[in-house]
């Protein structure tokens, strides 16, 4: 009889030649538990998904309660479903005026696709501008605006009339003109290794879009729901986009994405043609119930404040000579090492030390720290000790 490991490699599509190949049978809080009973501290949260930890009891309760009522009923947008309505209202109440209409989808990539269509439909323009070293997903349209040629080139021809420009390059903003439908930007570049805007760059992007009539899209798929020490990154910078993208932590561990705009802009998808955007499972009621419960946990348990304090503790306790810099705020941190080879070793050897670490797509000299926002002071301290030990052993060879 084949093992689950063998069946995994035989029957599931693979994304790399060297998957992690950990078999997890249970998860709780910040811990993942393997088949051998070993536990691992999850320092990546499924890439910024499990902001409220694994299997938070209030989220589990909300999921079970919704399943007892109903699951899928009809394609998105036809039937009034209470979890969708309540969650959309809750999100709108936390966002600036003009970001009050939510279109739920299944994932971040789908949110990107929907937002690109919305911008084209509303403006009547075609050009989409994004930024080098940005990540917006792997579907065909999202890949077309991704800022990494290594991942794009094998799938050409891609979506036409797209342009990538430099992040923090004010001079490049002159490319935003009357032909531009939208500019899509991560307010903090995550996969570039947690790169922040400098010298008022986001304000300049906003101003240039306003001058030319282009729509500004904020991709907050990784930065949303407290991850950076603010509920949303737009709160950190005080810049308001025309369209906002959410996913990952949006579903509280369930698959959910959204693009959010004003009712005026969003209404352009309802006619000429009708069904300007459509999804079967987007805004699944069980996912929305989980997401709403997760947002309540973030607010009720003061996880944004917890995120800030734990961030400072990581920066204080990670004091290994192999570390040259720690970038970021909140619990989206990039730990830069003195040698990129150390990063490869750290990520691959981390499970042996009881840790789950991960790379950045566009930054080979740093690894990511993005644990659940629920991580305790003691768990943070233990994690730092494990990382320091791991790095000591790697440097020693």
Res. 113: pLDDT tops 90: yes
Q: State how far the alpha carbon of 317 is from the alpha carbons of 113, 252, 261, 314, 388, in Å.
A: 41, 29, 41, 5, 9
Q: CB–CB of 116/182 below 8 Å?
A: yes
| CB-CB neighbours of 85 under 10 Å | 13
Give the pLDDT confidence score for residue 136 in this predicted structure: 97
pTM for the model stands at 0.97
Give the pLDDT confidence score for residue 18 in this predicted structure: 85
pLDDT tens digits for range 226-255: 999 999 999 999 999 999 999 999 999 999
Helix axes 285-300, 82-92, angle to 10 degrees: 40
pLDDT tens digits for range 263-310: 999 999 999 999 999 999 999 999 999 999 999 999 999 999 999 999
Give the pLDDT confidence score for residue 148 in this predicted structure: 87
* Domains assigned to the chain: 4-55+301-396 (3.90.1150.10), 57-299 (3.40.640.10)
Put the strands of the sheet holding 215-219 in their side by side order. 101-105, 257-261, 243-246, 215-219, 180-185, 127-131, 162-165
The overall average pLDDT reported for the chain is 97
pLDDT tens digits for range 360-396: 999 999 999 999 999 999 999 999 999 999 999 999 9
pLDDT tens digits for range 171-197: 999 999 999 999 999 999 999 999 999
> Per residue in 144-162, is it b (16+ CB within 10 Å) or e — as a string?
bbbbbeeebeeeeeeeeeb
Res. 397: pLDDT tops 90: no
CA 347 and chain centroid, separation: 20
Q: CB–CB of 268/112 below 8 Å?
A: no
Pairing of strands 101-105, 39-42: unpaired
213 — pLDDT class (breaks 50, 70, 90)? very high
**86 contacts: CB under 8 Å, gap ≥ 6:** 288, 292
Backbone φ, ψ for residue 160 (5° rounding) = -75, 170
Please state the rounded mean pLDDT for residues 209-221: 98
CA 129 and chain centroid, separation: 20
pLDDT tens digits for range 8-23: 899 999 988 888 889 9
pLDDT tens digits for range 120-131: 999 999 999 999
């Amino acid at each position: 009889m084949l093992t689950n490991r063998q069946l995994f490699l035989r029957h599931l599509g693979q994304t790399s030649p060297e998957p992690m190949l950990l078999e997890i049978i249970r998860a709780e809080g910040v811990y993942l538990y393997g088949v051998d009973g070993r536990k691992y501290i999850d320092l990546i949260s499924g890439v910024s998904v499990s902001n409220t930890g694994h299997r938070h009891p209030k989220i589990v309760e909300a999921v079970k309660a919704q399943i007892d009522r109903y699951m899928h009923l009809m394609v998105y947008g036809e039937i009034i479903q209470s979890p969708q309505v309540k969650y959309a209202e809750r999100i709108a109440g936390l966002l600036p005026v003009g970001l009050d209409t939510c279109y739920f989808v299944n994932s971040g990539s789908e949110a990107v696709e929907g937002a690109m269509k919305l911008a084209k439909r509303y403006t009547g323009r075609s050009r989409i501008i994004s930024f080098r070293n940005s990540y917006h997903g792997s579907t065909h349209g999202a890949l077309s605006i991704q800022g990494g040629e290594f991942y794009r080139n094998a799938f050409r021809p891609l979506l036409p009339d797209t342009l990538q420009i430099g992040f923090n390059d004010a001079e490049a903003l002159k490319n935003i003109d009357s032909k531009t439908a939208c500019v899509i930007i991560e307010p903090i570049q995550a996969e570039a290794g947690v790169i922040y805007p400098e010298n008022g760059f986001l304000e300049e992007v906003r101003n240039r879009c306003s001058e030319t009539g282009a729509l500004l899209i904020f991709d907050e798929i990784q930065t949303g729901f407290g991850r950076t020490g603010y509920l949303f990154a737009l709160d950190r910078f005080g810049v308001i986009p025309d369209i906002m993208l959410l996913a990952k932590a949006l579903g509280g561990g369930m698959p959910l994405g959204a693009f959010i705009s004003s009712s005026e802009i969003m209404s352009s998808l309802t006619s000429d043609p009708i069904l300007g955007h459509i999804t079967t499972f987007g805004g699944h009621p069980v996912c929305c119930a989980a997401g709403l419960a997760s947002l309540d946990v973030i607010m009720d348990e003061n996880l944004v404040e917890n995120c800030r304090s734990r961030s400072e503790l990581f920066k204080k306790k990670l004091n290994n000579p192999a570390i040259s810099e720690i970038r970021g705020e909140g619990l989206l941190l990039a730990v830069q090492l003195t040698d990129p080879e150390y990063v490869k070793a750290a990520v691959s050897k981390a499970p042996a030390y009881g840790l789950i670490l991960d790379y950045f797509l566009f930054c080979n000299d740093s690894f990511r720290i993005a644990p659940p926002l629920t991580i305790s002071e003691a768990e943070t301290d233990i994690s730092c000790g494990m990382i320091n030990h791991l790095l000591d052993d790697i440097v020693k060879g």
